Each structure stands twice: as structure tokens, then as C-alpha cells.
Structure 1
Amino acid sequence: MRTFSLLFAAVVSLALVGGCTVGPNYRTPDARMPGGWATLNRTSTQPSIANEQATQIATWWERFGDPKLDELIAAAIEGNLNLAQAKARLQQARALRAVSAGGLWPSVDLSTSYRRSGQDSGISTGSNDRYQLGFDATWEIDVFGGQRRTVEAADARVFSSSADLMDVRISLVAEVAVNYLNLRTSQQRLAISRKNLELQQRSLDLTKRQVAAGFAARLDLAQAEAQIANTQAQIPGLRQSAQQSVLELALLLGKDSSALLAMVDKVEPIPTTPPVVPTGLPAELLRRRPDIRRAEGALWAATANIGVATADLYPRFNLVGSIGTADSKMKGLFNWSNSLWSIGPTISWNVFDAGRIRANIALAEAQNDEAKAFYYQSILIAVRDVESALTAYDFEQERRQRLQASVDANRRAYDLANQLYAQGQVEFVNVLTAQQALLNSEDASAQSEAAVAKNLVALYKALGGGWADSEPNPVVAGSPAEK
């Protein structure tokens, strides 16, 4: 036992004193983030203005002030099946990390056996029983850190899986909001078409009276009827669009569509955008954008894999041992005087491999260079996405203002044309033209109102909004997110 103790102490001392971790240690690269948003219009006079104030956008949809939207997003987070799959993938990554970490510890196996043997010499026969019970242990001592680098790579994969989960949730919230906006847009366009149908019906009634009195031609009557039929033809398509949005929402919520179809007929306004939209600074994207975090996880894993490949250049140290008992009778297994044991270290070293190990190291280094370039590219894409969303949001607001002015002018033109036609001062074609212009401008204005809101959704998505910082951190300790 004294020999065993000395041998064990010598091997463990080798691991603790002489041990090292080969390969480069991971360090987050310089972010190279701009100081501010280049396209942010700080002098904008639009109703809703974006600025660089710090913001908490984990629940950005609440800024629309629409309880139904809040309810739908909460239900989607609870029941969406894509989100459930992403959570399961994160659990898989954590389990694989635990498998890798298990390689750092000894492996102990229990074995038991019974064997009966005999001999028949032709003169006499005999047989022997042998019972055996024992433990076999193997421990690869990670002197040069190859196994620790393997665990580190697994940590990086957990980090990337958590980023995937973030990405699914951020995209889910944005999709629910967009489909909800599509539903409300279709409803508003339906309301506009029906309101214009009432105006057109009044014009038709007036035209009928004019024709009956001999003040108008039957052509005017046919044109009025054609315009009504044309407006009526738009309604089925708008109803179908509203129902399609509800079907998409049902899928996102993981529910049967029948539970939501009542929303088609319950008309609600398009949610209004908040007066101020704080965006924060570009540097905040490093924490909030899942694609950047996923790219960093890939870079972290690639860096660790260099160490995994480098460890193959060095010898491997294993400590193996066994202890057990054996006897011809089962009760003898519990007699310590029948014990058998062995222990000893083994060393293996691949001294010639025709350059295979160094080729693997070169491969890992090249993969690391690729991952670093992808990380920087992800940052550029993230900044581009936000800048594009800011531009679209700002210009669509300007377009919305112009369209509203057009609606006001066309409404005045219609009222005037209708009045003059009743007095016989203009042709009926002027009424038809004014009616169509009013319908078109109101319809375009409603679509622009929705586009402003959807551009704001795209901005929040580009900023990485929708991941609750208050939720448990899905990242393992020691990850880049915690450095």
C-alpha cells in the first residue's frame, strides 16, 4: 500500500505541477464598433423620433400600447414549437458538455464473474468453481490540457446554442408583431373600402335621380355601378388576407386556428408607434444580437480546437488499476485474504505520424481564422441592419405624412365634385375620379401607417430586442459573455 501511495502521489504531482494547457487562450477580439448611428436623423420632426439614449428593449412590443398584441406574444413565447425545439437543442448542448467534462475524471467499472472448469483424463474427472468480484479503474491525467480544451470547445457550443435560442425568440416576437399588424392593416383597408362603398352608393342614388329627371345620361349610371362593383371586388381579397394573418398567428402560437378566427371580425386600429424610440449605441449590439454571439461562440470553439489538436503532439499519461477478490466459493469473495489488486501508470506517445498531427493543427488554425473573419462580418451585418431599419423608419414616416395630406385634399375634392355634380356644373366623370382618388389615397395611407409600425418592429429586431435580460443566463460560467 505504501508503494501504491507513493506511485499515486507521483502521478498526481505530475498533473498538478507539470501540467499545462496547450494552445492559445481565447480572448474576445476588438469589436471595431462605430461610435454612433450614421443614418440617425437627430433633427427629425417626425411624430416618432429615434435617438441614441440607452434603452431596455426586452419587451419592446409593450411600447405600442396594444393589450392584444401583448397577449399574443406572451402566448407565443409559451407555446411556440420552434422555441421549444431551440430550448431542447440548448439542453442537448449542455448534456454533451457534461459528457466531455466526464473525461477529466477516473472511470470505474464493476465486474463479477463465475466460471466452472473441469478435466476428463479418461481415468478420473474433476471440476473447479471460481467466483470473481472486482473494480477496474482508468484515469487519463490531462497533463497537457487536451481534454480541458475539449471541454472548453463544448462550453463554446453551449454558448452558441444559447445564442440560437435568443435568435428564435427574437424572430418569433417580431413575426407575431408583423402578422398582427398585417391583420389590423387588412381590417383597416376593409373599413376604408366599406366606407367608400357607402359614398359610392350615395353617388349612385344621386345619379339615378339625375337620370330619371333627364339631367344625366345613362352612361353615368353604368359608370357608377361599375365603380361600386370594382370596390366590392376588393373586399374578398382583404378578408382573405386578414384570415391568412390569423392562420399565421395560430401557427406561431402553437394553437389551433379556430381559437383565433374570431379576431378576423373584431376590427381594431393599427397600433400607434411611440413618440420616442431609444436605440442605444452600436456597442450594445455585441450583447443583444444573437448572430454576433453565435459567431463569437464559433470563434471560441475554433480557438479551443487548436489546443485539442496541439495536445496530440505530447504523450498521454494514464493511471490504471484494479482491485477485487476471487475464490472457489461465493462466500470467499468477502474474505479480504483472497483479494487481488494491481496499479500502475501507462504512457503512450505517437512519435511518428507522417505529419498528420501538425496538419490537424494547421487545419484548426485556418478554421480559427475563418471564424474570426465571420465574427467581424457579423458585426458589420448587424450595424448595416440597424442603419437600414432606421432609414426605412424615418422615410416611411415622411411618406405617411404626405399621404395623409393627400387624403385630406382628395376628401375636399370629392365633396366639391359631388356638390358641383348635383348642381349640374360638372360631368359625372369628375365625381368618379375624385371617388377613386380618395379611395386610393386612404388605402395607401393605411398601408403606410402599418409600414411605419412594421419598420419599427424591424428596427427592434435589428437591435436584438425581445430577449429578456431578467431570464436565467443560459450561458455556462466562463463564457465570453461573462468575461
Structure 2
Amino acid sequence: MRSPRHSHAPSLSDTGGRSPRWSRYAILIAGCSSLTACMVGPNYRAPPAVDTGSGWSRPVGEASAPTDLDRWWRALGDPELERLVDTALAQNLDIRQATARIDEARALRDRAAGRQLPTVSAGASVNQRRQSENGPLPVGSIPGLDASQTIYDAGFDAAWELDLFGANRRALEGANARLQASEAEAQGVRMRIAAEVARAWFEATGAREELRAQRATVATLHQTLELMRGRAALGDVAGADVDATHERWAAANALLPGIEARQRAAVLGLGVLLGSPPERELKLLDATASSLILPALPVGERADILRRRPDVLAAERRLAASTADIGVATTELFPKLSIAAGGGFQALSTGDWFDTSSTRYSILPLISWRLFDGGRVRAEIRAREAVQRQAALGYEQAVLAALGDAERALSDYDAGRDALARRQTALDAARRSVGHAEARFAAGDIAGIELLAAERLLHEAETACARAHATTAVQLVALYKAIGGGWDLPDAPTSKHVSIGATVGEGQ
């Protein structure tokens, strides 16, 4: 049955004058929207500066600031190291997980931004129904009304909660800060992976050089042992001397498996760091490393490292996010205004479905205010404030830890270079001693066993020097990592102070 025609009703699509009721709704919406400039809760401000001290606790290089820290491994002149680090940065699973965490934080930020906009949904339906003629509504006794009806409906529904006191804007502020913290933490993962790859490579190459020198020591002791056995057979030396020589050879020979295991473990670790099976880089067991020079590293001002350390930057962003969370919790103390609107077309016949007389609409403003909740909202605000204080203390702890890492790394590297220089002096002296022994042996002044003794001391010095070189190279990696090397630095002015703590400002 066709619905009866009725007079033209006011609708959202009217081109003529608005109805007084619709005008009042429009005025109400416009007036409430003007209140959305207000935001409650603390505004995040740059925290007060904390003095980082007058400088390093020990003398450093002359240069005022380090250079090329973003790709520091390339300055070492080792093509194999460059290949390993670049491959790890592209394939390492920890880095890929950190990238996924950035994607998650970005999606959460977009979700927070979407809360500031209304939600709109559209739909259409065809509802065929039959009502009981004997039910509460006497359909059978109403002329012109059929018990069976087909209702055609199409329209939209919209809902919008006005951000009167800044809940959504504070949530977006916090989501942005958390996204930035995730990005900084991802940079920290990149720094760590680059450093771990370099460390494993230096441990592998150092173990290889140490193994070469130790094998030479074992070979020399074996020759000495054979000579001692021959002299003992002639009665020139006592059996105790042969046993003592055998003990030295056995002790030196027993060190070889441990060195080989350290070298293999470092190479297997490289495979995992490169996001591959452990055995991928086993060919490096026999690779020849480039000669590595360990320079005095100019580290710049001590405060400069704080703007490069991702852990410090991430801690500051978490502090900003926790400050925004206080504002989100504070908005629960104030009223909320939401507006629901709907409209569309409804008819009993497809021919009348989109006729202007079939239009329908509704507007529903709703104000809600939590007047009593047993103190839960204020307790939540106190909890958010406590979290903010924890974040401020965590930021301070990150700053102090960064300074401590840099100081220790600088001290260790300086001590390592000093120890290496002394080992090198001992090695040079051992080489000269072997040269003298060879000349004397050629002249017949000394026996072969004395020449072997000088060669054994040389090989032992080579072993100690190789170990010291590998240790110092690892300490150089630790220093690069401690001063924030390994990622592109933001353009930011340097300062002798860093921001610390949180200042709570008045909400607008």
C-alpha cells in the first residue's frame, strides 16, 4: 500500500528558511564548539636545566666535537666490517621489530587524531514484516492499514563528542610524544646492533691473531722439547728439565681450544646479528682483517652526548607523554557534550523512497557530568601525577647513566690504548732480542735452544699484543656507542646544560 501524501516537512535539504528548532540546535552547536579551545591539565614545558659539570673528568682530544658519528664504522677503514654492519642494519630482527613498534605507535597516534572528528555511518535496509491483527495494535480494524508491510529505509547516523576541555587533544599530544619516543628507541636499537656487530668482528679477528701467535709459541716450545729430549739422551740435561719444558709446552697447547672457541663463537654471533642462521659467516674464520688503527677519539663536550643519546631523548618524550596523560584524566572532572544526528529516507514503496516527503532526521544533544564516583577520577589524576614524577626521575637517571657510560668508556679506551702501547714496546724489544739471538747463533756464540727461547718470548709478546689490540678495539666500539654514535643527529644547538624534571603549568 502506498503511504498517504502529506505536506512538505522541514528537512536537512531544505533550501528555504530554517525551522526555529533547527536554528536553536545550530546556535547550541556553534556555542559549544567555541569552548573547545579550552584544555585542562598541565601544559608540558621545557624542564629546568641541570648543570652537567665543567667537563670531562680526564683530558680528551683537542677537537671540539666528534665528526661522522652517524657511520663511525666506515672511518675505521675495514671493508668487511662495513659490509657486516650495513647488512645487519638492513636485516637484523631486533631492528625490524623496532620498526614495527614505530608503526604501532604511529597507528595509535592516528587513532587518537581520529577521535577529534565525528563518526558517520550510512546504511540501507528493506524490512518486510507482518503485524498481528489481534495484538495490542488493532491492525485489522484500522482502515487502509495493512497487516503486512515492506519498509524501505536509507540514511546516515553521525555522532560527535565535542572536545570541550581538551581530552582528545591531550590524548593526541601524548600519542605524538610516544611515537617520538618509539622512534628514538629504534635509533637506540640501531646503535646497539652496529656496536655488537663491530664488537663481534673485532673479537673474531683478535682471536685469529692471538691464535696464530699462540700456535707459533706452541711450535717453538715443541722444538725446544725435542732438543731437550735429545740432550737428555746424551746426558747433557737432567730429566727434570725435560719435564719442565714438557709442562710449558702442554700448558701453551691447552690454550688453543679456548681461543678457537672464542673465535668461532664470535663468528656464529655475527650470523645471528645479520638476521641469518649462525653458520652464515663461518667463512670469516679464515678471512684476513684490515689493519686497524686505534686513534685518540675527540669526544667533544660532555654535555653534547646527551642530545645524541637515544635513551635520553626517549626518556624526555616519555616524560612529555605522561604530562599529557594528566590532562586526559583531569577532563573527567568536567561535563561532556555529545551530539548525535541522523537522517535519510523511509517509505513503504520504492517509488516514494527518495521523495522529499519521505525524509527523516533527528538531532540529539546530550550533556553528561559525573557528579559522584567515590573519588575514582581524582585518584586516577593522582596516579597519573605519580607516573609523571617517575618519568621525570627516569629521565634524570637516563642522563646520569649516559654520562657515566661515556666517562667509563673514555677511561677504558684511554687505558686500553696505554696498555696496547706498552705491549707494543715489549713486542718491539722482543723482536730486537730475536734479531740479536739470530746473529749470535749464526756466529756460534749461543746454542739453538737459546735462540728458541728468544723466539718463544717473541711469540708470547705477539699473543699478548694481539689480545690487547682486540680489547682496545672493543673499547673503542663501546666509546662510540656511549657518546651516541650510530645514527643521524638532529640539528640542535649544543648546551652545557640538559633539561631535567617536569614543570606543571596551569591549564588554559
Q: Does 1:11 align with 2:29?
A: yes
For 1:269 and 1:128, locate their aligned partners in 2 and report how far apart those are by CA, in whole Å: 88
Out of 58, 78, 85, the position equivalent to 1:40 is: 58
- 75 and 33 in structure 1: CA distance in 2 versus 1, 3 angstrom threshold: farther
Name 1:154's counterpart in structure 2: 175
Name 2:110's counterpart in structure 1: 98
2:36–2:166: 8 Å Cα contact kept in structure 1?
no
2:92–2:273: 8 Å Cα contact kept in structure 1?
yes
Offset, 1:9: 4.6
Give the fraction of aligned pairs with identical amino acids, expressed as a percent: 35
Out of 269, 275, 289, the position equivalent to 1:248 is: 269
Offset, 1:451: 1.6
Secondary structure of 2:297's counterpart equals strand
1:170–1:461: 8 Å Cα contact kept in structure 2?
yes
Offset, 1:398: 1.3
2:220–2:456: 8 Å Cα contact kept in structure 1?
no
- 154 and 373 in structure 1: CA distance in 2 versus 1, 3 angstrom threshold: same
Secondary structure of 1:116's counterpart equals strand
Amino acid of the structure 2 residue aligned with 1:295: A
- 58 and 207 in structure 1: CA distance in 2 versus 1, 3 angstrom threshold: same
For the aligned residue pairs, the C-alpha RMSD in angstroms reads: 3.1
Name 2:47's counterpart in structure 1: 29
Offset, 1:443: 2.2
Q: Does 1:195 align with 2:216?
A: yes
Name 1:320's counterpart in structure 2: 340
- 81 and 62 in structure 1: CA distance in 2 versus 1, 3 angstrom threshold: same
- 54 and 207 in structure 1: CA distance in 2 versus 1, 3 angstrom threshold: closer
For 2:202 and 2:364, locate their aligned partners in 1 and report how far apart those are by CA, in whole Å: 71
Q: Does 1:455 align with 2:475?
A: yes
Name 2:374's counterpart in structure 1: 354
Amino acid of the structure 2 residue aligned with 1:75: T
2:218–2:252: 8 Å Cα contact kept in structure 1?
yes
1:132–1:324: 8 Å Cα contact kept in structure 2?
yes
For 1:219 and 1:175, locate their aligned partners in 2 and report how far apart those are by CA, in whole Å: 48
- 407 and 56 in structure 1: CA distance in 2 versus 1, 3 angstrom threshold: closer
For 2:308 and 2:336, locate their aligned partners in 1 and report how far apart those are by CA, in whole Å: 42
Which structure has more relative contact order (CA 8 Å, sep 6+)? It is 2
Secondary structure of 2:50's counterpart equals coil
Name 2:7's counterpart in structure 1: none
Larger radius of gyration: 2
Name 1:84's counterpart in structure 2: 96
Name 1:373's counterpart in structure 2: 393
**Structure-1-length-normalised TM-score:** 0.87
Out of 303, 311, 319, the position equivalent to 1:299 is: 319
2:214–2:460: 8 Å Cα contact kept in structure 1?
no
Q: Does 1:118 align with 2:131?
A: yes
Amino acid of the structure 2 residue aligned with 1:95: A
Offset, 1:253: 0.2
For 2:397 and 2:475, locate their aligned partners in 1 and report how far apart those are by CA, in whole Å: 24
1:39–1:390: 8 Å Cα contact kept in structure 2?
no
Offset, 1:91: 0.2
1:109–1:135: 8 Å Cα contact kept in structure 2?
yes
For 1:436 and 1:95, locate their aligned partners in 2 and report how far apart those are by CA, in whole Å: 65
Out of 269, 273, 281, the position equivalent to 1:260 is: 281
Secondary structure of 2:300's counterpart equals coil
> C-alpha offsets along residues 261-292 of structure 1, whole Å, 9 cap, x if unaligned?
1110123256322x342213233333211111
For 2:398 and 2:49, locate their aligned partners in 1 and report how far apart those are by CA, in whole Å: 11
2:35–2:164: 8 Å Cα contact kept in structure 1?
no
Name 2:84's counterpart in structure 1: 72
Q: Does 1:230 align with 2:251?
A: yes
> C-alpha offsets along residues 375-413 of structure 1, whole Å, 9 cap, x if unaligned?
112111111111111111111111112222333445556
Offset, 1:208: 5.3
Amino acid of the structure 2 residue aligned with 1:22: V
> C-alpha offsets along residues 321-349 of structure 1, whole Å, 9 cap, x if unaligned?
10011111234322221010011322111
- 270 and 255 in structure 1: CA distance in 2 versus 1, 3 angstrom threshold: farther
Out of 141, 144, 151, the position equivalent to 2:165 is: 144
1:51–1:276: 8 Å Cα contact kept in structure 2?
no
For 1:66 and 1:308, locate their aligned partners in 2 and report how far apart those are by CA, in whole Å: 52
For 1:51 and 1:437, locate their aligned partners in 2 and report how far apart those are by CA, in whole Å: 40
Secondary structure of 1:32's counterpart equals strand
For 1:220 and 1:266, locate their aligned partners in 2 and report how far apart those are by CA, in whole Å: 40
Offset, 1:372: 1.2
For 1:142 and 1:424, locate their aligned partners in 2 and report how far apart those are by CA, in whole Å: 99
Name 2:361's counterpart in structure 1: 341
Q: Does 1:165 align with 2:186?
A: yes
2:102–2:179: 8 Å Cα contact kept in structure 1?
yes
Q: After the TM superposition, which of the residue ranges 120-129 and 60-69 deviates more from structure 2? A: 120-129
Instruction: Give runs of aligned pairs for residues 178-217 of structure 1, distance below 5 A.
Output: 178-204=199-225, 206-207=227-228, 210-211=231-232, 214-217=235-238
Q: After the TM superposition, which of the residue ranges 90-99 and 399-408 deviates more from structure 2? A: 399-408
- 381 and 63 in structure 1: CA distance in 2 versus 1, 3 angstrom threshold: same
Name 1:108's counterpart in structure 2: 120
Name 1:45's counterpart in structure 2: none
Name 2:150's counterpart in structure 1: 129
- 28 and 55 in structure 1: CA distance in 2 versus 1, 3 angstrom threshold: farther
For 2:68 and 2:350, locate their aligned partners in 1 and report how far apart those are by CA, in whole Å: 70
Amino acid of the structure 2 residue aligned with 1:102: G
**Structure-2-length-normalised TM-score:** 0.83
Instruction: Give runs of aligned pairs for residues 413-424 of structure 1, distance below 5 A.
Output: none
- Structure 2 unaligned regions, length at least 5: 1-11, 13-17, 141-145, 492-499, 501-508
Secondary structure of 1:277's counterpart equals coil
Q: Does 1:175 align with 2:175?
A: no
Offset, 1:232: 3.0
Amino acid of the structure 2 residue aligned with 1:132: D
Name 1:59's counterpart in structure 2: 71
